[in-house]
Every structure is written in C-alpha cells, then in structure tokens.
Amino acid sequence: MATKYWIKLYIEILHDPKMIRLSQSLFNLTIKLFLVAGEYDDEGYLPPIEDIAIILRADEEHLETEMIELQRVGILSTDSGRWMVSKFADRQAAVSTAERMRQYRERKQKQQYYGDVTNRNVETESETDTESDKREGVARVATFYANNLTNITPFISEQIKGWVADYQEAWIMDAMKIAVTNNARNINYVSAILKRWQAEGKDDGAPRKNGRKPDNRQAEIDKTLEEVFGK
C-alpha cells in the first residue's frame, strides 16, 4: 500500500450545502477521513473502523455513529461492507490537459469579472464621496447664511448650491463674512464678491487670472457696493 503526502482538497467544500450543514464536529471528522483515505491510498476506501479510531484517537462506537451520519448525507458510502469516501478516487485523479485549460479559463473569467466589479465599485464610491462632500458643503454654507444673513428661501437655497458647485467653500464663507461686516445681508452682494474673486483673484495670495490685485480691502468693498447697490 503506497503512502501519499497530500490530497486535493477542493475549495468548493466551503459552499457545498452538504458541508455547510454539518456540525463542527462532523466537518472536522470529514476532513480527517479525507486524509485517512489519502494515506490509505485505496481509491477512496477506508481502513476498518477500529483502525480509523486508533489513527484519529477517537472512541470507536462514537466514531461509527458519526460515520453513519456522514453516510446519510452522501459524504461516505459503503461497498461490500467497506467504508469509503464518496467520489474520492475521481476527485483525486490526475486532471487532464483539457480540464486544466477549462479551469484556467474559468479563473481568468472570475478575475476579470471581480476586477471589473471592484473598479465599478471604486468609481461608484468615489462619485458617492464627491456628492456627499457637496451636500455637506451646502449644509455648512446654508447654516451660516441662515444664522448670519437672512432666512433661506427656495431661491437662496438654489443660489447656495450654485456657489458650492462653482467656488471654494472658504471663499463663500469669507464673502458672507464681508457681507455681515458691511451690513449688506444680501445674496446679490455675496454673489458679486465671489464673481469678482473668480475674475480677479482673491486677495489671499492666490494667483490672479489677470495679475491685478486690489489696492486694499476697502477698495474691493466699495467697488462691490457700487455694483450691487449703485452707490
């Protein structure tokens, strides 16, 4: 009787209904019996129960009861009074070239599928994160506006969404603070500041599109007031 050093253990047992429904004790015994069948090397046949009990250091009567349960679910079977692991010989046989190619193609298809799914999930998560950031930005701006300027109307809500989409949140906050400081609690006033900063650059060290820089903060405020209120 030849002795083997390893057996094939198919990962599909993780999803095999027969294996999933086994108790932990029966599952462990099943794997051990696979190993015993491999060591016994007789096309899946197992040695007598008394020998198995010695190998596994198990109680012979309890072992027989558990093996009968495994027979009931189809993992074990008997032939001419001998216990055997069902389909063990077929599963341990050498894989043909055609079967290896089939398995290879199947693995590649799974890799491609799960790779595509992962990429799609990453893209979806990225899009979701961006939308979440926008919503949070709108909420922060709207809260400041409602607390410091005027009540939020549907028109103002849409304007705020447009600001968050077009400008940096820090700019929006600064523009609203200027409006509060100058008691110009008007959405058009804030919009005029943001449009000017977008066209000329904000006086915070950021690059300007046309290279111009207001002489001072008051000059910028006066110009904005003149545009909005005609002063």
- Read off the pLDDT of each residue in 56-75 and give the average, rounded to a whole number: 94
Is the pLDDT at 230 greater than 60? The verdict is: no
Query: For residues 156 and 145, is the Cβ–Cβ distance under 8 A?
Result: yes
Q: pLDDT value at position 113?
A: 60
Give the single-character DSSP code of 41.
Answer: T
With pLDDT > 90 as the criterion, what percentage of the chain qualifies? 40
Identify whether the C-beta of residue 46 lies closer than 8 Å to the C-beta of residue 84: yes
Let me know whether 88 and 151 are in one domain.
Answer: no
Looking at the domain assignment, is residue 33 inside a domain?
yes
Residue 118 has pLDDT above 60, yes or no: no
Q: Rounded distance, CA 35 to CA 221, Å? A: 85
Confidence (pLDDT) at 85: 95
Residues 65 and 142 in one domain: no
Residue 138 and residue 66 share a domain: no
- Evaluate if residue 66 carries a pLDDT over 90: yes
Into how many domains does the chain fold?
A: 2
Q: Are 38 and 92 in contact (CB under 8 A)?
A: yes
Task: Look at residue 58 and tell me if it is in a domain.
Answer: yes
Instruction: Give domain status of residue 114, yes or no.
Output: no
Query: What would the pLDDT profile of 75-103 be if each residue is shown by its tens digit?
Result: 999 999 999 999 998 888 876 777 777 77
Residues 76 and 139 in one domain: no
Domain of 38, in residue numbers? 11-92
**pLDDT for the residue 50:** 95
Among 92, 125, 155, where does a domain finish? 92
